[in-house]
């Protein structure tokens, strides 16, 4: 054989570590590791690697069969291709690639696969036909019957009551008492929510839900079972954004159970039910995000007379939820959903039609709503708690009193224009709206201690005055 004979062997050439064979020209024949032929310069065999690249406007694509810790599991791609994912977060361990997105470093090729197969082949040769079935099992896949989820029987239907304290249990308890209110009048039309508070048809809601139906407008209540009934306004209070309407001719009404809002805790779970965007019976859940949040019930267009002492929640509340209940996990109503913070509607608080939920909603505390509703039902008119003084934000913090109304509770207590209120009982007062909200939570004839900026304390007996709806 000549030196140009391709079958010639060079005794000095390296031999395969397992077979003992020398490489044919261009590298080992039947290379299980994916090695390429020797380079033209005669260097060591080169390993091929999967392709990695950045995708414009998305996160980097991860290819090959290496595990990607950031992306959802998916099918492996054929060798030399990459699998793209638009959702995985950037890989903090990779190097930046074109387009500014980091990519994973290509993993070192694993060599164990070829050796494992070679070992199995060797065993098969040694034991012959006895091991033939075993090798077929490992290399050809299972020969058992395929299973299909579509062929499996349906699971048993759910039975029994929902677990106590669950969102499901609250929804089952409250939903039959929640109504959708469809309102129309000379100024336009709209819809909102309300909830039944008596078996004879009284429904509690927001003033801004039914206001357009006052003075000759129409209000229709739609119940969970589809029944509809005309409703009439019993009374409303724009200063607290509370109203009561009544339906007649509808039987088997289920009133809600009222809870209390004076012992709410930040972080406790709550459930909201209502008709956002006319989607009646919508249930959402969240937590109490904050308490005693001064909010103007009229939104950014509201004035100081509409400030409420709100319960803040992250339960999804949207236009149409107004007037619906906010409940604790015992299914007791602890607030009336009334307003949302919506940057899309001008950055103020309110439920404008163009606004949407951003996780900041506000509810009227039920303790205040209960007192106002009771007065409306008994007298047909709401009574507002007041002290009889103008108020503005103090430059140094607190609420500065302005003109004092003669004969008012403020004058009787000895308060004067220029006094700065910094605390009512144990509640800090940091602004004029906070003072108004704190006064709204009190009942007429109730007493409280006002602390002033000069550390004087004054006892004030709150007054009450009838509210004249506009």
Q: Which residues are catalytic?
A: 208, 241, 322
Distance CA 300, CA 354 (A): 14
- Helix (H), strand (E) counts: the chain: 7, 25
Residue appearing with tokens 């909010």: 295
Contacts (Cβ under 8 Å, ≥6 apart) of 10: 22
Contacts (Cβ under 8 Å, ≥6 apart) of 223: 176, 179, 229, 250
Pseudo-torsion of CA 361, 366, 368, 370, nearest 10°?
140
**CA-atom Rg of the chain in angstroms:** 37
CA dist 91 to 52, 56, 71, Å? Answer: 13, 16, 10
Pseudo-torsion of CA 267, 271, 276, 278, nearest 10°?
180
Check residue 224 and give left, alpha or beta (phi > 0: left; psi -120 to 50: alpha). alpha
Instruction: Give the start-end residues of each E strand in 109-177.
Output: none
Q: Residue 142 pairs with which residues in a beta bridge?
A: none
Q: Residue 244 pairs with which residues in a beta bridge?
A: 204, 235
243 membership: H or E segment, kind and range: strand 242-247
- Burial degree of 37 (CB within 10 A; 0-12, 13-18, 19+): middle
Q: What is the distance in angstroms between the CA of the first residue and the CA of the last residue of the chain?
A: 114
CA dist 208 to 25, 103, 260, 293, 414, Å? Answer: 88, 54, 23, 19, 36
Q: Residue 270 pairs with which residues in a beta bridge?
A: 286
Distance CA 346, CA 343 (A): 5
């Amino acid at each position: 054989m000549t030196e140009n004979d391709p079958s010639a062997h060079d005794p000095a050439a390296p031999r395969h570590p397992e077979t003992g064979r020398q490489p044919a020209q261009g590298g080992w024949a039947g290379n299980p590791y994916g090695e390429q032929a020797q380079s033209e310069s005669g260097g060591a065999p080169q390993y091929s690697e999967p392709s990695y690249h950045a995708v414009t406007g998305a996160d980097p694509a991860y290819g090959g069969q290496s595990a990607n810790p950031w992306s959802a599991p998916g099918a492996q791609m054929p060798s030399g291709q990459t699998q793209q994912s638009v959702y995985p977060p950037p890989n903090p361990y990779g190097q930046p690639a074109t387009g500014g997105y980091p990519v994973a470093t290509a993993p070192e090729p694993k060599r164990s696969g070829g050796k494992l197969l070679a070992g199995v082949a060797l065993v098969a040769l040694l034991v012959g036909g006895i091991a033939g079935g075993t090798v077929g099992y490992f290399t050809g896949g299972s020969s058992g019957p395929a299973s299909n989820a579509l062929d499996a029987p349906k699971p048993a239907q759910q039975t029994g009551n929902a677990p106590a304290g669950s969102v499901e249990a609250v929804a089952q308890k409250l939903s039959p008492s929640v109504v959708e209110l469809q309102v129309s009048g000379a100024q336009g039309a709209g819809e909102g929510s309300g909830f039944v508070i008596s078996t004879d048809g009284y429904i509690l809601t927001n003033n801004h839900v039914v206001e357009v139906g006052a003075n000759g407008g129409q209000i229709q209540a739609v119940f969970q079972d589809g029944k509809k009934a005309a409703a009439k306004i019993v009374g409303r209070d724009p200063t607290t954004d509370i109203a009561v309407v009544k339906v007649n001719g509808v039987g088997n009404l289920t009133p809600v159970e009222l809870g209390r809002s004076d012992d709410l805790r930040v972080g406790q779970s709550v459930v909201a039910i209502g008709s956002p965007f006319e989607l009646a019976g919508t249930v959402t859940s969240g937590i109490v995000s904050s308490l005693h949040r001064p909010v103007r019930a009229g939104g950014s267009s509201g004035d100081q007379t509409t400030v409420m002492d709100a319960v803040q929640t992250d339960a999804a509340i949207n236009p149409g939820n107004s007037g619906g209940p906010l409940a604790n996990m015992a299914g007791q109503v602890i607030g009336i959903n009334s307003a949302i913070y919506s940057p899309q509607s001008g950055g103020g608080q309110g439920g404008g039609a163009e606004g949407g939920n951003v996780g900041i909603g506000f509810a009227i505390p039920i303790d205040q709503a209960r007192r106002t509703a009771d007065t409306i039902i008994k007298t047909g008119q709401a009574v507002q708690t007041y002290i009889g003084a103008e108020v503005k934000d103090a430059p140094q913090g607190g609420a500065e009193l302005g003109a004092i109304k003669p004969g008012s509770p403020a004058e009787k207590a000895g308060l004067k224009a220029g006094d700065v209120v910094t605390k009512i009982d144990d509640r800090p007062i940091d602004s004029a709206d906070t003072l108004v909200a704190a006064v709204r939570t009190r009942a007429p004839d109730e007493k409280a201690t006002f602390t002033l900026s000069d550390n004087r304390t004054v006892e004030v007996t709150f007054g009450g005055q009838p509210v004249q709806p506009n």
